[in-house]
Structure 1
Amino acid sequence: MATVANYFVALSALGQFWCLVLGMFLWRTPLGVTNYDMTQEFANASAKLAAHQSLYNGFLAIGLVWSLLAVSHAFELKVFFLVCAIVAGSHCAATVSRRIFYVSALPAIAALALVLAAGR
């Protein structure tokens, strides 16, 4: 069970990293414009803000990877960073696009359920 939980934690980290890449580097590209259903003009005008706001996804990804590599307090780190990913992904889904929920929050919810089921 712990191995499966760790795979889902890694999947959640990848989702957070993808959100960072999309917001920081691909925001003004056709992929970013289409993904967030915005005009090119809006993408150009908001690119710096998007890059700044996407930075937190990188911190979440790093925290999740750290929780997989940690020798002590790994359980607590996983729970903390997964809860952060769930809250952030749910907020973004509610305020920006529901699609964000599936990339950011849903993998973290699955991972958290598995981590809690596996226990310490």
Structure 2
Amino acid sequence: MMILSTILVALVALEHVYILILEMFMWTTPRAQKAFGTTSQFAKETKSLAANQGLYNGFLAAGLVWGLLHPNDTFGFQLQLFFLICVGVAAVYGSITAKKSILFVQGLPAFAAILAVVLANL
């Protein structure tokens, strides 16, 4: 179960690095516009807001990686759990306020990772 939890946490971290890249560096590209359902005009007008949002996704990814790499297993577990819960809360909020698919795209992997991390540390 430990290997599965590590893989799932790493995947959630990678997903948030990808979101960081889309929001910070690719926000006005067709790829990001398609992913977030925005128009070219909206993307231009909100570029700095998206970059800020991308930075927060980067912090989530950094926290998850910190939890994976921390030499103290107990504290590493706590870090992973904390940052996964943050991702889960953000996914629920985003699905209510922005786009319902966020719950599945970001929330489902986070909730699966939470379950795996908890079970691996029983």
Which TM-score band applies after superposition, normalised by the shorter structure? over 0.9
The alpha-carbon deviation at position 101 of structure 1 amounts to: 2.6
Counterpart mapping for 1:33-52 below 5 A: 33-52=33-52
Q: Structure 1: which 4+ aligned runs deviate by more than 4 Å?
A: none
Q: Distance in 2 between matches of 1:62 and 1:113?
A: 20
Counterpart mapping for 1:1-120 below 5 A: 1-72=1-72, 73-119=75-121
Q: How many residue pairs are counted as aligned between the two chains?
A: 120
Q: Distance in 1 between matches of 2:81 and 2:27?
A: 30
Structure 1 residues without counterparts, runs of 5 or longer? none
RCO greater where, 1 or 2, for CA within 8 Å and sep 6 or more? 1
Structure 2 residues without counterparts, runs of 5 or longer? none
Q: What is the identity, as a one-letter code, of the residue corresponding to 2:7?
A: Y
Does the aligned pair in 2 maintain the 1:27–1:33 contact within 8 Å?
yes
Query: Identity over the aligned pairs, expressed in percent?
Result: 43
Q: Distance in 2 between matches of 1:20 and 1:93?
A: 18
RMSD of aligned residue pairs (Cα, Å)? 1.2
